[in-house]
Amino acid sequence: MIGRLNHVAIATSDIKKAAKIYRDTLGAEVSGEVPQPDHGVTTVFVDLGNTKIELLEPLGENSPIANFLKKNPSGGVHHVCYEVEDIIAARDRMRAEGATITGTGEPRIGAHGKPVIFLHPKDFVGTLVELEQA
Protein backbone atom coordinates (compact mmCIF):
# COMPACT_ATOMS: atom_id res chain seq x y z
CA MET A 1 0.00 0.00 0.00
CA ILE A 2 2.66 2.55 0.93
CA GLY A 3 4.59 4.14 -1.90
CA ARG A 4 7.59 6.44 -1.89
CA LEU A 5 9.29 7.97 1.12
CA ASN A 6 8.04 11.55 1.04
CA HIS A 7 10.21 12.86 3.87
CA VAL A 8 12.04 12.14 7.07
CA ALA A 9 11.28 14.69 9.79
CA ILE A 10 13.99 15.68 12.25
CA ALA A 11 13.06 17.65 15.36
CA THR A 12 15.41 20.27 16.74
CA SER A 13 15.28 23.06 19.30
CA ASP A 14 17.50 25.21 17.04
CA ILE A 15 16.32 25.18 13.44
CA LYS A 16 18.83 27.84 12.33
CA LYS A 17 21.70 25.67 13.50
CA ALA A 18 20.14 22.55 11.95
CA ALA A 19 19.59 24.34 8.60
CA LYS A 20 23.19 25.56 8.65
CA ILE A 21 24.48 22.01 9.19
CA TYR A 22 22.46 20.73 6.22
CA ARG A 23 23.35 23.72 4.01
CA ASP A 24 26.98 24.37 4.90
CA THR A 25 28.36 21.13 6.32
CA LEU A 26 26.39 18.66 4.19
CA GLY A 27 26.04 20.95 1.16
CA ALA A 28 22.32 20.39 0.62
CA GLU A 29 19.67 22.65 -0.92
CA VAL A 30 17.80 24.15 2.03
CA SER A 31 14.60 26.25 2.02
CA GLY A 32 13.91 29.25 4.21
CA GLU A 33 12.10 28.92 7.50
CA VAL A 34 8.34 28.51 7.20
CA PRO A 35 6.28 29.10 10.37
CA GLN A 36 3.28 26.75 10.44
CA PRO A 37 1.18 27.99 13.37
CA ASP A 38 -1.61 25.49 12.56
CA HIS A 39 0.86 22.67 13.17
CA GLY A 40 2.81 24.19 16.05
CA VAL A 41 6.12 23.99 14.21
CA THR A 42 8.51 26.01 12.08
CA THR A 43 9.79 23.97 9.13
CA VAL A 44 12.80 24.01 6.86
CA PHE A 45 12.82 21.64 3.89
CA VAL A 46 15.98 20.04 2.63
CA ASP A 47 15.57 18.87 -0.98
CA LEU A 48 17.51 15.68 -1.69
CA GLY A 49 16.06 15.04 -5.13
CA ASN A 50 14.61 11.61 -4.37
CA THR A 51 13.14 12.68 -1.04
CA LYS A 52 13.17 15.48 1.54
CA ILE A 53 14.31 16.09 5.07
CA GLU A 54 11.90 18.22 7.07
CA LEU A 55 13.56 20.06 9.95
CA LEU A 56 11.06 20.91 12.71
CA GLU A 57 11.34 23.40 15.54
CA PRO A 58 8.56 23.94 18.10
CA LEU A 59 6.38 27.01 17.48
CA GLY A 60 4.16 28.43 20.20
CA GLU A 61 2.80 26.57 23.19
CA ASN A 62 1.56 22.98 23.00
CA SER A 63 3.78 22.17 20.05
CA PRO A 64 3.32 18.50 19.07
CA ILE A 65 7.10 18.05 19.12
CA ALA A 66 7.72 19.63 22.56
CA ASN A 67 7.57 16.32 24.44
CA PHE A 68 9.84 14.63 21.94
CA LEU A 69 12.49 17.32 22.47
CA LYS A 70 12.14 16.98 26.21
CA LYS A 71 13.07 13.31 25.84
CA ASN A 72 15.63 13.99 23.11
CA PRO A 73 17.21 17.35 23.96
CA SER A 74 19.76 17.19 21.16
CA GLY A 75 17.03 16.47 18.58
CA GLY A 76 16.47 13.39 16.46
CA VAL A 77 14.33 11.61 13.89
CA HIS A 78 10.73 12.44 14.77
CA HIS A 79 8.76 10.64 12.03
CA VAL A 80 8.91 9.20 8.54
CA CYS A 81 6.30 10.02 5.88
CA TYR A 82 5.18 7.53 3.26
CA GLU A 83 2.97 8.38 0.30
CA VAL A 84 -0.35 6.65 -0.26
CA GLU A 85 -2.75 6.99 -3.18
CA ASP A 86 -5.94 7.30 -1.15
CA ILE A 87 -5.80 8.52 2.45
CA ILE A 88 -9.31 7.28 3.33
CA ALA A 89 -8.58 3.79 2.00
CA ALA A 90 -5.28 3.83 3.90
CA ARG A 91 -7.01 4.94 7.10
CA ASP A 92 -9.65 2.22 6.78
CA ARG A 93 -6.99 -0.40 6.17
CA MET A 94 -4.98 0.73 9.20
CA ARG A 95 -8.15 0.57 11.34
CA ALA A 96 -8.89 -2.93 10.04
CA GLU A 97 -5.30 -3.93 10.88
CA GLY A 98 -5.82 -2.69 14.44
CA ALA A 99 -3.23 0.10 14.18
CA THR A 100 -3.67 3.17 16.37
CA ILE A 101 -4.21 6.40 14.45
CA THR A 102 -3.32 9.47 16.50
CA GLY A 103 -5.83 12.25 17.21
CA THR A 104 -9.37 11.79 15.95
CA GLY A 105 -8.31 9.34 13.26
CA GLU A 106 -9.69 11.66 10.61
CA PRO A 107 -7.22 12.88 7.97
CA ARG A 108 -6.15 16.50 8.38
CA ILE A 109 -4.28 18.83 6.11
CA GLY A 110 -0.55 18.41 6.73
CA ALA A 111 2.41 20.71 6.36
CA HIS A 112 2.43 20.23 2.56
CA GLY A 113 -1.26 21.06 2.06
CA LYS A 114 -2.21 17.42 1.56
CA PRO A 115 -4.32 15.13 3.76
CA VAL A 116 -2.34 13.10 6.27
CA ILE A 117 -2.79 10.71 9.18
CA PHE A 118 -0.26 9.73 11.84
CA LEU A 119 0.17 6.15 13.07
CA HIS A 120 1.24 5.50 16.66
CA PRO A 121 4.87 4.36 17.04
CA LYS A 122 3.89 1.40 19.25
CA ASP A 123 2.49 -0.42 16.21
CA PHE A 124 5.32 0.51 13.81
CA VAL A 125 8.67 -0.57 15.19
CA GLY A 126 8.89 2.39 17.53
CA THR A 127 8.61 4.96 14.75
CA LEU A 128 5.89 7.57 14.31
CA VAL A 129 4.61 7.14 10.74
CA GLU A 130 2.86 9.82 8.69
CA LEU A 131 0.83 8.73 5.68
CA GLU A 132 0.29 11.45 3.08
CA GLN A 133 -2.00 11.30 0.09
CA ALA A 134 0.34 11.91 -2.83
Cβ-based nearer residue to Co ion, 57 or 130: 130
With respect to Co ion, which residue has the nearer C-beta, 24 or 34?
A: 34
d(CA 109, CA 101): 15
The verdict on whether 130 is a catalytic residue reads yes
Residue with Cβ nearer Co ion (78 or 98): 78
Spot the catalytic one: 54, 57, 61, 130. Answer: 130
Smallest distance, Co ion to C-beta of residue 122, A? 19
Which letter does DSSP use for residue 97 in this model? T
| Residue 72 C-beta: closest distance to Co ion, Å | 17
Buried b (16+ CB within 10 A) or exposed e, 11-30: bbbebeebbebbeeeeeeeb
Residues that bind Co ion (CB under 5 A): 9, 81, 130
E strands, the chain, are 5-11, 29-30, 34-36, 41-47, 52-58, 76-84, 108-109, 115-119, 128-133
CB of residue 56 vs Co ion: minimum separation in angstroms? 8
Q: Which residues does the annotation mark as catalytic?
A: 130
